Structure 1
Amino acid sequence: MTVFERQTGKRVGMLTPSSNTVLEPYTSAMFAPFGDAASAHFGRFRVVEISMSDASQGQFTDAPILEAARSLAEAKVDLIAWNGTSASWLGLEKDRALCAMIEAETGIKATSTSLAYDHLFRGMGLKSLGLVTPYLTEVQDLIVAQYASQGIAVSADARLEEKVNHAFGTYSADQIAGMIREVAKSKPQAISILCTNFRGAPQAAALEAETGIPILDSVSVTAAHCMREMGLDPARVNNWGSVFQLFSDLHYPSQQREKQ
């Protein structure tokens, strides 16, 4: 390809909480095996706290998210993803409605972390889940209730009682690994690291080998789902745990993956 030819790689636009420092470098590393064939691009809107306060919940109103989506659309992306977990406590209908609005505003297909999890959970026939987050109990209890309404029992959970979004990304990998080992004792079908600003993804493969349980990190789940939505094969991504093979094996209607 000469410098004068157009680049035709797939592009995903990620809507990112403003105080998140984890998902951008991790997501870019996950897309690296595709080279010029695929890339991730990011737009931010203000999110600084996760709690059930009015101020915190007001961060997830539609207007700022739609403005960020319109800006991402100017990069001619093939897909827009809300890379955040708020629908895990607000309900999946929140993200379904948001994605419909993004598609209406931009003409670009939209998805989210919570919708990616839902697709994976359904594909796995998931009934029991271990849950690891940095969140407050008031948030975590709502997440557990949302999963119960979907027929998924949280067999054990761990949380840090933290509400400052930027602080989520400052907790060490060793601390997160300890939380995973604790919930693994309940022998769930899978363990979710539910937060896109939490440093769980790089150690997922090692912890899966140690516990024998799939580790479903939010950043990884979002990236793998977006790859499939764009017709890419997540199985090309190595060293980030089984999530990428799990998504490679999932059924996506009327879609063929890239040829290896």
Structure 2
Amino acid sequence: MKLHFDTDTGIGTAARMGLIVLEADETLEPEFTLLNQRQDISIYHNRIKMATQITPQTLAAMEAELPLAAGMFPDCGMDVIGYGCTSAATVIGPARVKSAIQKTQSQAKVTEPLSALIAACNTLGLKKIGFLTPYVPEVSKLMIQRLEEAGISITGFASFEESDDRVVARISPNAILNGIKAVAAAGPCDGVIAACTNLRVAQIAKQAEAEIAMPVLSSNLALAWHMMHLVGIDPKAPEFGTLMAGSSRGAHPYTV
């Protein structure tokens, strides 16, 4: 017996988002699940091949893989695609990341954590930043350069200096919290960035903000916020800190 059926517009009626996740990343997808609290946003994940050792050379090599990864999303009209690698976006460059993804997803808006972090700092009016990374010095140095080129001063810096992404995923939230407090105390700043999509920051962001009395941004928080922002969605999730509070944060809760 053949049954009759009707169709509708499918899921993701507010937005269809694509997330390109590193092969070794264990944090980005679980944190995005927490951060997306709307049933009308659909998020699709594709993995991209990545060496476990993080160097400028292995990061740059991903550029060639981006069109294939982007092309594997379902043919449902992706509204925005986020490339989930802060360090590779820094090495490759946001413009080249966008160009590579739009080779197979020409209609989609594109972002990555570097652009998202800069946009978040601009939105919150943050000009002086304490900066925490897990990266080897060569990668951290380039990221600092990119932030400073965008008009953001780094007044305190520290790194876990871990090159293996599998280990980065296991850096404890307590160690990250201590790192956030250390860079906040290292010099006068009005916010802290904890960079890397594999660092588990989302669930400690609110606590960290309370302890240092300033906004705390992470790669994943900024990427989720920016992807929503690009499609006109206000996150309104204050339990994840100042940035994700969106318009519900009202007046800035901290002095900047």
Q: Which amino acid aligns with 1:128?
A: K
Q: Give the aligned partner of residue 113 of structure 1.
A: 113
1:232 partner SS: coil
Which shifted more, 114-123 or 215-224? 114-123
Alignment map for 1:33-72 (pairs within 5 Å): 33-35=37-39, 37-47=40-50, 48-52=52-56, 54=57, 56-61=58-63, 63-72=64-73
Which of these residues, 10, 20, 28, is aligned with residue 25 of structure 2? 20
Aligned length: 241
Spell out, residue by residue over 1:93-125, the C-alpha distance to the aligned partner (whole angstroms, 9 max, x if none): x21222134224323222221111222223334
For 2:101 and 2:54, how far apart are their aligned partners in 1?
23
For 1:135 and 1:43, how far apart are their aligned partners in 2?
24
Q: Give the aligned partner of residue 98 of structure 1.
A: 97
1:121 partner SS: helix
Spell out, residue by residue over 1:131-173, the C-alpha distance to the aligned partner (whole angstroms, 9 max, x if none): 1111111211222222222222211111111001121111100
Distance 1:10 1:168, change over 3 A: same
TM value normalised by structure 1: 0.84
For 2:6 and 2:208, how far apart are their aligned partners in 1?
43
Distance 1:3 1:193, change over 3 A: farther
1:86 partner SS: helix
RMSD between superposed Cα atoms in Å: 2.3
**C-alpha deviation, 1:73, in angstroms:** 4.9
**C-alpha deviation, 1:49, in angstroms:** 2.2
**C-alpha deviation, 1:9, in angstroms:** 4.2
For 2:165 and 2:76, how far apart are their aligned partners in 1?
27
Q: Give the aligned partner of residue 174 of structure 1.
A: 174
Distance 1:110 1:58, change over 3 A: closer
Distance 1:158 1:88, change over 3 A: farther
TM value normalised by structure 2: 0.85
In structure 1, list runs of 5 or more residues that go unmatched. Answer: 250-260
Distance 1:242 1:20, change over 3 A: same
2:72 partner SS: helix
1:26 partner SS: helix
Q: Give the aligned partner of residue 238 of structure 1.
A: 238
For 2:243 and 2:203, how far apart are their aligned partners in 1?
12
1:123 partner SS: helix
Asked if 2 retains the 8 angstrom alpha-carbon contact of 1:137 and 1:161, the reply is yes
